[in-house]
Structure 1
Amino acid sequence: MTVISCVRADAPWPALPIGPTFIGEPAGTGPPACGVVGHYGWSWPHGLSPVGSATITGAANATLLTGDQSFLDLARTPLDAVLRHAEHRSAGEMGTLGEHWQPHLRAMGGGCTLMVPQLTTGSPQVLYNGGLAQLHLRYYDAGERRPGLPADVAALVSDIRPDHTVVELVNLGSTPRSLVVQAGSFAEHLVCTVRLDEGPVQDVDGRYCGVELPGATRVRLTPTLTLRGGRPTYRSPWEVTR
């Protein structure tokens, strides 16, 4: 077995502007039609859920591109304000909102493949409408030079801490497989060191580490990471130089 290195802020809820806004151009040559801007409250589908998601998406994207975590306050401040007024309720106590979520809850009770990317990469659920995948780890098939795990290989992120991650890698087949483990969706994190099972800590100091998996093998990989320590890129490990 070989592992090789490769290259709160508490603040008042902001005032929401309420007033006239142009919403369309009627037929003819008259001025645009005028409506009134308002808000729907905190409930799904047109309340905090889409507004909060859009704010988180914008803040996360800005943080990724600049490395400046203060952009996250754009989402953190209003969400903290709302959560201070939150209540714990079961689905049956939530009226129409509960009715909306009941089918989803039933589906998850029987198993849900939506969770697979989160379990294999150690990432939160992707936000719709512009949210980027916030992957803690990403994998490449080194033999085929393509994104994703090699054939017969499974991964499970079993622990995430601010400074390290633990991932279980299993080769279910009899053929040896090679993979590259990347730190972050866009290689924006840096791998400082890596440890295989209970073996010695090995220095990496790069965006990736390579793993050779013999057939019918299970290993535990523990990389230590510097989050957002690199410049994000779409390029594959074979195109990037640090």
Structure 2
Amino acid sequence: MAMIRGGLPTVPPAWALLQRQLLGAMGAAGEAFVARYTHPDGSLIWRESWPGMDGSDDGYESFGNFALYYALGGAERYLRLARDEWEAVTRQFSAYGQVHREFDAYYDWMHHGESYTYLYFLGLADPSDTAFRERARRFAAMYTGDDPEAPNYDPQRRLIRSPINGSRGPRFENSALDWVTHRPVLAGYPPPFEDIPGAPGPLCDWNDDTIFGEVLTRLNARMMRGDVPLNLSSTSLMTHAFLLTGEARYRDWVLDYTAAWRDRAASNGGLIPDNVGLSGEIGECLDGKWYGGYYGYRWPHGIMTVLEPVMIAAANCLLLSGDWSWLDFPRGQLDRLVAQGQRRDGLLLVPHRHGDAGWYDFRPLHPRFHTYLWYLSQDPADWERLTALGPRDDWDTVHGRRGKCDQEHAGCWVRYLEGRLPAYPELILRANYTEMLRRLALIDADHTTVDGQDVHHWQERNPVSTEALVHLTLGGPQFIYHGGLLHVRLRYFDPANQRAGLPPDVAALVERVAADETTVCLHNLDPLARRTVILRAGAFGEHRFGQVAPEGGEPVAVNASWLEVELAPGAALRLNLAMERYVATPTYRQPWARVEA
């Protein structure tokens, strides 16, 4: 492994001090959160029973970023804590009934996606865990056709057979009990169909038993048989299996299944349909309509749950194949939606829903979609697509609050990369710290009882946040919350302790990304001791370093996915890293690991 030594003693900048302070403080804060809300075995202090198919995702989400925090350089104890909490949530929701054979019995891939990023981050944190490697194979078998108890996939037609799927197989008929705990949530959304008696809109009261009966009848008849784009998020589960095992069959499945949906889009004039029946026919259960499917263009969220899975799948295909043409898939969807947009005061308003009367619900498009596309491609034309969305005040304002997806500042990060928000590193670190304190105050003031706590109670109080650390240290966007993998420029490993993440006292800031280069500034905050850090090109070693030029030093030809850097005491070192992207086989394997079966 190539090594670069050096750096000049430097008074650490505010961002470096804040970054290390945040990494340390979140460790203690997260432990206080766990102590407040869990039993000694890790299970949530909550109800004795919980019916329906919804809810396990919220259990996993409550601790789902612990492994990512560890992989970024968080407290050592978080690797064990993340594993223990995954096991505890799995046991608890198995007893409730939502989980079967350690996997959701049946639900959709928006909620599966929220659950299983937890698994993907455990892979990043420590891929040597044999129990989780076995789980990866077992869970993947539920979607390859190798598990007879979970016949979710039709390999001949290249489709997942229902939007509701899991370890018990496709769920063609939903019961009233399946939806019992989610009805109050969906009562806040538009009607899923346009012909529901008593529910003309704008909302549909799922709490009304008569209306719900009409909804359920139509749901089972029109939405439950066949495939939907939302299922493309399953490609992350299969990519995860490939990253752990290297078995080509998982890669091939991802490429083939995504290609099937790309073909369906091509046959629909370029725009992906939001439903196909069990025969593979578009609109088979919806009178031939290409819209109106489960979590499709109409209901409940509109284009978000179409665009996100397409972006997730395309990014996974690029990762696995190195073929840039996969990005044409989400690019084409975004272009077609933007073409339907309207300009108002210089701002582009894009339709977020489609029904029998055409496109409607015109709103600004969240920048994360185009940010992801541009970040992956580094194509100037994709940058133009992003900036063409129009001026957004929130692109210049670090407001601090952490939303559910912990990706509220994609626009601000873009502004930083283009040099228009130079204070972003310090601002986002302060904002994440402030949000951590706010959540600790919520925990301290929480006098609710278990009967008064809904299933989202804990994730709304988890004080661990990773948005700032991902943006600044890894040089990438936050993962797509509903099932995306982490796609970034760099990762770090601590050779002294043989673990993932930044070593103690080391801070990192990715200052620039380009198609073939990345610039990072490393600081050793220890004034007495040297620190050694290993850099990896990409989250999974999918990139390759070329010539590395330390500021003020001689370039070094690396030509590998790993680089070791030794920082002098109290020193800072800026590296310009030439980089070939998506040219190496991705893997979770860490630099000291032996090749394992």
Determine the C-alpha separation between the residues in 1 that align with 2:580 and 2:482. Answer: 29
**Secondary structure of the equivalent of 1:192?**
strand
Counterpart contact for 2:292–2:299, Cα < 8 Å: no
| Matched residue count | 212
The 10-residue stretch of structure 1 (193-202 or 43-52) with the greater mean CA deviation from structure 2: 43-52
What is the 5 A alignment of 1:44-193? 46-86=301-341, 87=343, 88=347, 105=399, 107=401, 111-112=431-432, 113=465, 114-174=467-527, 175-193=529-547
Determine the C-alpha separation between the residues in 2 that align with 1:215 and 1:240. Answer: 31
CA displacement, residues 77-102 of structure 1 (integer Å, 9 cap, x when unaligned):
11111123444279xxxx9x89xxx9
Write the letter of the residue equivalent to 1:206.
A
The percentage of counterpart residues that share the same residue type is 34
**Secondary structure of the equivalent of 1:111?**
helix
Counterpart contact for 1:19–1:37, Cα < 8 Å: no
**Secondary structure of the equivalent of 1:60?**
helix
Q: Does 1:3 align with 2:260?
A: no
Determine the C-alpha separation between the residues in 2 that align with 1:216 and 1:195. Answer: 20
Q: Does 1:38 align with 2:297?
A: no
What is the 5 A alignment of 1:195-234? 195-234=549-588
Counterpart contact for 2:479–2:487, Cα < 8 Å: yes
Determine the C-alpha separation between the residues in 2 that align with 1:227 and 1:166. Answer: 15
CA displacement, residues 45-79 of structure 1 (integer Å, 9 cap, x when unaligned):
61111210011001111121122222222211111
Post-superposition shift, 1:15?
6.7
Counterpart contact for 1:177–1:212, Cα < 8 Å: yes
Q: Which residue of 2 aligns with 1:30?
A: none
**Secondary structure of the equivalent of 1:150?**
coil
Determine the C-alpha separation between the residues in 1 that align with 2:297 and 2:531. Answer: 49
Write the letter of the residue equivalent to 2:558.
V
**Secondary structure of the equivalent of 1:63?**
helix
Larger strand share, 1 or 2: 1
Post-superposition shift, 1:139?
0.4
Determine the C-alpha separation between the residues in 1 that align with 2:480 and 2:590. Answer: 24
Counterpart contact for 1:20–1:37, Cα < 8 Å: no
Post-superposition shift, 1:41?
8.0
Structure 1: gaps (5+ residues): 5-10, 22-35
Determine the C-alpha separation between the residues in 2 that align with 1:135 and 1:122. Answer: 6
Counterpart contact for 1:140–1:146, Cα < 8 Å: yes
Post-superposition shift, 1:115?
2.3
Post-superposition shift, 1:105?
4.8
**Secondary structure of the equivalent of 1:79?**
helix
Counterpart contact for 1:158–1:167, Cα < 8 Å: yes
Determine the C-alpha separation between the residues in 2 that align with 1:15 and 1:126. Answer: 23
Larger helix share, 1 or 2: 2
Determine the C-alpha separation between the residues in 2 that align with 1:237 and 1:125. Answer: 24
Structure 2: gaps (5+ residues): 6-265, 274-281, 350-360, 365-393, 402-407, 409-427, 433-464
Counterpart contact for 2:473–2:510, Cα < 8 Å: yes
Counterpart contact for 1:137–1:185, Cα < 8 Å: yes
Determine the C-alpha separation between the residues in 1 that align with 2:506 and 2:306. Answer: 39
Post-superposition shift, 1:198?
2.3
Distance verdict in 2 for CA 1:209–1:47, change over 3 Å: same
Distance verdict in 2 for CA 1:48–1:145, change over 3 Å: same
Determine the C-alpha separation between the residues in 1 that align with 2:300 and 2:494. Answer: 40
Determine the C-alpha separation between the residues in 2 that align with 1:149 and 1:45. Answer: 40
Q: Which residue of 1 aligns with 2:117?
A: none
Q: Which residue of 2 aligns with 1:27?
A: none
**Secondary structure of the equivalent of 2:309?**
helix
Computed over aligned residues only, the root mean square deviation of the Cα atoms, in angstroms, reads 3.2
**Secondary structure of the equivalent of 2:431?**
coil
**Secondary structure of the equivalent of 2:331?**
helix
Distance verdict in 2 for CA 1:218–1:226, change over 3 Å: same
Counterpart contact for 2:486–2:539, Cα < 8 Å: yes
Post-superposition shift, 1:14?
2.5
Distance verdict in 2 for CA 1:20–1:141, change over 3 Å: same
